[in-house]
Structures are given as structure tokens and as C-alpha cells.
Amino acid sequence: MANHKVLLIKRLLPLSRKWKKRRYRQGLIRFFEALALYLKAGFALSYSWAETFKTLESTLIEDLRCDLKGTSGEETDEFSATTTLKTLRDQCRIAPYRMWFGVLLELYETGAQLTQGVEAVVLSLRREQERELEAHCRSLPVKVNVVLMVFFLPPTFLWIFVPIVLEILSEFK
Amino acid sequence: MKTLFYLVFSFFAVVILGVVCFQLLIRLSKVVIWREFKRNHKIYSGTQNFWLHFNASCLCLVLGGFLLSWLCTGRLVFGLIPLPLFPWVSRGLSQFQDYRRKRELEFSALAFFNGLLGLIQSGRGLSSALFDLTQSQQTPFSLQLNQYLQNYQEGKGLSAVISQFRKKTGLPVIGNYLVTLEMAYCQGLPVAPLLELMIPSLEMEQHYQQKMESLRTQAIAQAVLAFMVPWILAFALGWFNPTLFESIKDKNIMWGVGTIALIFEILGVGVLWQITKFY
């Protein structure tokens, strides 16, 4: 099957979108954990961001990699934390996370301590993940029962009733 | 019908025999003499180990197939039927084995990282703490890491050793943490705060992973039972009411019913597999 068709099917599947969002969040947690470590050690955000990205690049999913890659400043070729955070604030693929980038940008621009902000993002994302995992585990037995009833009961009924119906019909002939 | 039954029977026989053979081989590999032989000759490791298991299970399956064929039909020729199934059976078994190995490694990593944090907080360097732990702990994670740390003694950098270990083991969750650990070591950043962040996250992830795995196992067990029920009913119909079964067996509609039932069940298995996934 052509690649674009596979992509189309994947986009149509709501489950696929859900998994993608979870993987995106998982990557973001790892990224911010490492970033917090750099910031704690006293490195500047631009350097920390670029170094963390370089290290974790291979482990991130495609979408997150594109989002976090960052853009070079227009005047210099150096990595610009402000531009990247601005882009993420306006165009992050998962809309509710844009707020976090906005907060980080504001902290960065006002020259405030970033470590605690980044750690708060990690904590919040972790809690969100935990909640979702709990909900997933809670709802799974119900979902499994529904699937069992929808897909496995009809074949059972088919094997029970079809021979009987056929036998009755043959009596009438 | 007899042929169909034979095909289904041989398939299950092949699967069961394959599992038994594989388990026997694993038990054999745990025998000290065998392990010593492997260590001395260094011939059966990595892919060679896989091929050894593959060939041995194939051989056992061929012999088992011929034996079954001879026992059931009195002829050896039907023993050739399971032959095309070998690659799939072996692939499935090796994947399962690999999954179990990774799971063991991941679950034993938590105790290792806790020990590492303790040693680092008491003032040890990362490399010294790693060496002490791998030599004192006998968990799968430390045993595996110990093999790679031999390269450090031969002059390779610690980050390169950790990177090699991460790539070779291919652990998805621990791999990400190891990347961060490598980064911290290379940049000269403190490792203890990183471990303090890592350990609760890892604990949480493992807790939920275990929970999800147990739920998934329950779902699979239910699905297997539900999958078998219609066919058990068909078998019961043939057993208890052979006249009714014989009268409907020749009708084309029954083949249609069987096909629809099978399609529904395969779809159900697929849907179950998808909904039990989290990532």
C-alpha cells in the first residue's frame, strides 16, 4: 500500500491519534527532565535546549523532533531559545501544551529562574500521564467485555442457532 | 472434515511442541557445562544463539510432526504438513523470548538504579559505583551491564560503554534514561539529581506496566476462551447429535457460517489487541 494511504488510514483512526499524543507527551517529559538537569547545573537555556535535543533526538518521535528542533535566529546562525519557544507557544501540535511554552517564554524573557518552571511542567505532564494510565486501566475491563460481546458472542450464536434453523426449515420442505 | 481437523490438530501440536522444545533448550543452556562450553568457544552468542535455537526447534518439530503423523494416521508423509509453519513458530517463540528477556532486564533495573543513587550520594564516582554494583548484584540487569563494563577496563570511555549497552539491549524505557545518564556524565553534570528524578518515574512506569500487562493477559485469556467456545460447540454438536451434524455438514451455508464466525473472531482478536495498548 502506498505510504500516503497508510498515513491517511492512520489519521482516520482516533486510537492512533491518542497513541501519538501519549508518545508525544512521553517524549516531552523526558526532554524536560533532561533540560531541568542542565538548568539546575547553571547552563543557559539556549545551550541546554540545543544539547538536550542533540542527545535525545534519536529517541523522540517524528512530530516532537520537528517541534523541538528549534529555529535559528534570523540575524545569527545560533540557536534562539526565544524564537523556538515562541513557535512552540503558537504552533505546538498539541494545543493544551502551548500554554506551558508561553509560561516558559515569559519566564525566560523576564530573566526569572527557569529550573522550577521546567520541573513544574514535568510534574504536570507526569500527573496527566498517570491520570490517563489510571483511567485506561479502569476502563479496560469494560472495553474488553464489550469487544467479547460484539465479536465473540455472534459466532457462538451462529453455531447454536443456524443448525437448528436449518433443521426446522428442512422439516417444512 | 477429517483433513481440516488434522490440520488444526497438527498446528496446535506444532505450537505446543515448539514451546516445549524451546523451554528444554533454555533449561539446557542453564546447565553449567553447556554455559562453560559456550563461554570457552564463544561460538554461540547473539545471532548464532538464535540460529542454534531455531535449528534445534525445527529439528524437534520435524521429528514430532513425523511421530504424530505416524501415531494418528499410520503414515509418515503427513509429518511434512507442519513444515511451512516452522518459520512462523520459531519467529514467534524467539520474539516472545526476547520480550521476556527485556522485561526481566527492565524490572531488575529499578533495584540497580536505587543502589546506584545510594552509592553516588555516599560520594562515589559514577564509574566506581557502576563497577561495585555490577560485581555485587546478581540481577539480570547488572549481569548484562557487567559484560559491557569489561570494555571500560580495556580502555573504552564510560559513555561509549553505556551507549553500547543501551543499543545492544534495546530497552525502550530504560534506554531513554540511559541516554540522559550518558549526557549527564559527558557534560560533567551531577548524576544524583537525575537519578532522584528518574527513580520515581521508573517506579510509576513499571507499576502501570505491570498493571496493564496483567489486564492484557486477562483479556487474552478471555479472548482465547471466547475464541474456542463456538468451535467447542460445533464439536459438541458433532459428538452428541451426529445425525443433525451430518445432515447440515454438506450444506454450503455451514461453510459460510464457519467462515463468518472465523472472520468475526479474528477481527475481535485484532480489536482487543489494539484497545489494550496504551502507547
Number of independent structural domains in chain A: 1
Cβ-based contacts of B218 with chain A (< 8 Å): 141, 144
A59 vs B219: CB contact, 8 Å cut-off? no
How many angstroms away from the CA of A151 is the closest CA of chain B?
A: 5
B176 vs A59: CB contact, 8 Å cut-off? yes
Q: What is the DSSP string of A48-107?
A: HHHHHHHHHGGGS-HHHHHHHS--B-SSSSSB-HHHHHHHHHHH-SSGGGHHHHHHHHHH
Q: Please check whether residue A168 lies inside any domain of the structure.
A: no
> Facing residues of A79 across strands?
A72
Q: Are A146 and B275 spatial neighbours (Cβ–Cβ below 8 Å)?
A: no
| pLDDT by position in tens, chain A (length 173) | 455 555 555 555 666 778 888 888 888 888 888 788 778 777 888 888 887 887 777 777 777 777 777 654 444 445 677 888 888 888 888 888 888 888 888 888 888 888 888 888 888 888 888 888 888 888 888 888 899 889 988 888 887 788 778 778 777 76
Q: Please check whether residue A64 lies inside any domain of the structure.
A: yes
B257 vs A38: CB contact, 8 Å cut-off? no
* Residue among A34, A38, A159 minimizing CB distance to B230: A159
Return the amino acid letter for B45. S
Q: What is the DSSP string of B60-107?
A: HHHHHHHHHHHHHHS-SGGGGTTGGGHHHHHHHHHHHHHHHHHHHHHH
* Residue among A37, A155, A166 minimizing CB distance to B193: A37
Best residue of A37, A64, A126, A157 to probe chain B, by most B CBs closer than 10 Å: A37
B180 vs A22: CB contact, 8 Å cut-off? no
Instruction: Give the model confidence (pLDDT) of B102-156 as tens digits.
Output: 888 888 888 899 999 999 999 888 888 988 888 888 888 888 888 888 888 777 8
ipTM for the complex shown: 0.70
Best residue of A162, A167, A173 to probe chain B, by most B CBs closer than 10 Å: A162
Report residue B188: phi and psi, to 5°: 75, 25
Cβ-based contacts of B244 with chain A (< 8 Å): 163, 167
Q: Please check whether residue A161 lies inside any domain of the structure.
A: no
Contacts of B110 (CB under 8 A, 6+ apart): B199, B202, B203, B206
Cβ-based contacts of A35 with chain B (< 8 Å): none
pTM above 0.90, yes or no: no
Residue span of the structural domain in which A110 resides: 15-143
Distance set, CA B152 to CA A118, B106, B139 (Å): 35, 23, 20
Q: How far apart are the first and last CA of chain B?
A: 42
Q: Please check whether residue A96 lies inside any domain of the structure.
A: yes
